[in-house]
Copies of this chain bind each other. A is one copy, B any other.
Amino acid sequence: MGPRSARGGLRPVVAPPPTVGVDLGGTKIYAVALADGEVVATAKRSTPRTGGPSAVLERVAEAVERLGLDGPPHRIGIGGPGPSRAGRTTLGPAPNLAGWDDAVDLAPPLRERFGEDLVVVVDNDVNAAARAEAALGAGAGAPDLLTVFVGTGVGGGLVLDGRVRTGAHGMAGEIGHLLVVPDGEPCGCGGRGHVEAYAGRAGMERIARRRHDAGEPTALVDLAGEGRMRSSIWAEALASGDAMAAELVESAASHVGTALAQVALVVDVGLVAVGGGLAERLGASFLGAVEQRVHDLLPWDSDLHVVPTRLGDPAGAIGAALLAAEQP
């Protein structure tokens, strides 16, 4: 970062100001300030459900202000739930953000708020989190890292030789849609037999409710009550010895392992970090089952390691800040 010539005048030689990263999610906005690879401030706000992009951006600005920096930020990176084209300043369409139906350029409103020299850059949220895990989390020191998030769905981001791979359509790392069972369970994307249909919470719940409706006993449905089958409910059912929960969790780990073996055959990464609700809740037993499946499937003596993600919730915001810091 050079001196900001537009402001002119003599300025004392000081450390560069922190770079700001924002993870713009469907329910919350998470902001961090990053200096020398360390998070020096964090702030959280809820994502407004009405008012569209302008209301959301106002809340983003509030989160940035709550970081309490000395003066306005010079660089902001935003990770959001849209298609990935690292280096843009536009986000959307974003179905997970209320009223965000088109691509919106985030640079003009943020520059109006924080200064016309503000560097703004937008990234896909999963790729932002993968960048952060590779640089400062589970992959620190390794050349490559695949980061997989097992949540409602299954998403992934791929870092090769230290750079996020986006690919021809910004779809690289979309391992949730790898085919693991030909003509298998329906997937949210309209396809069938994808790993997300077996290892994402939405798919697992769909299978459990269907089997329960067909008369198979399970505590999962009662435990969920009127709500969704959250990770805690799966953990509770497992702890109580529920057979269907055990079978579906084992199946989820096995299918994630199958998907990771395919990734290993395509790009031969040596390290995979797995995070997200179910993986974090079940911990080593889940990751161990995933890793075992990878080793069973690969046609060479594999030392691929499956480890937990390390940065937790702030990963997306940290990765967005790292991208902003890299901008020219």
Q: Which residues of A contact B (CB under 8 A)?
A: 144, 158, 160, 165-175, 177-182, 187, 189-191, 194, 258, 261-270, 297-300, 302, 304
Contact = CB atoms under 8 A, between A and B. Distances in A.
Contacts of A270: 167-169
A267 B172 contact: yes
Contact of A265 (B170, B171, B182): B171
B265 A169 contact: no
Given A177-B299, A297-B179, A299-B190, A168 B269 contact: yes
A266 B190 contact: no
Given A180-B182, A262-B262, 16 more contacts: A165-B268, A167-B267, A167-B268, A169-B302, A171-B264, A174-B299, A177-B298, A178-B262, A178-B266, A179-B180, A181-B182, A187-B299, A191-B297, A194-B299, A262-B266, A267-B267
Contact of A165 (B175, B189, B194, B267): B267
Contacts of A181: 182
A144 B266 CA distance: 14
Given A144-B167, A165-B160, A180-B182, A172 B268 contact: yes
23 contacts: A160-B160, A165-B267, A167-B268, A167-B269, A169-B268, A169-B300, A170-B268, A171-B264, A172-B266, A174-B299, A178-B265, A179-B180, A179-B258, A179-B261, A179-B297, A180-B182, A181-B182, A182-B182, A189-B299, A190-B299, A194-B299, A266-B266, A266-B267
A171 B194 CA distance: 24
A264 B173 CA distance: 9
A228 to B, nearest CB: 23
B177 A266 contact: no
Nearest to A192: B297
Contacts of A299: 174, 177, 187, 189-191, 194
Contacts of A160: 160, 165
Nearest to A174: B265
- Number of copies of this chain that the complex holds: 2
A191 B265 CA distance: 13
Contacts of A304: 168
Given A181-B182, A182-B181, A190-B299, A266 B175 contact: yes
Given A144-B168, A177-B299, A189-B299, A263 B261 contact: no
A141 to B, nearest CB: 14
Contacts of A189: 299
A208 to B, nearest CB: 22
Contacts of A168: 144, 268-270, 304
A72 B274 CA distance: 53
Contacts of A264: 171
Contacts of A265: 171, 174-175, 177-178
B268 A171 contact: yes
Contacts of A302: 169
Contacts of A191: 297, 299
A126 to B, nearest CB: 13
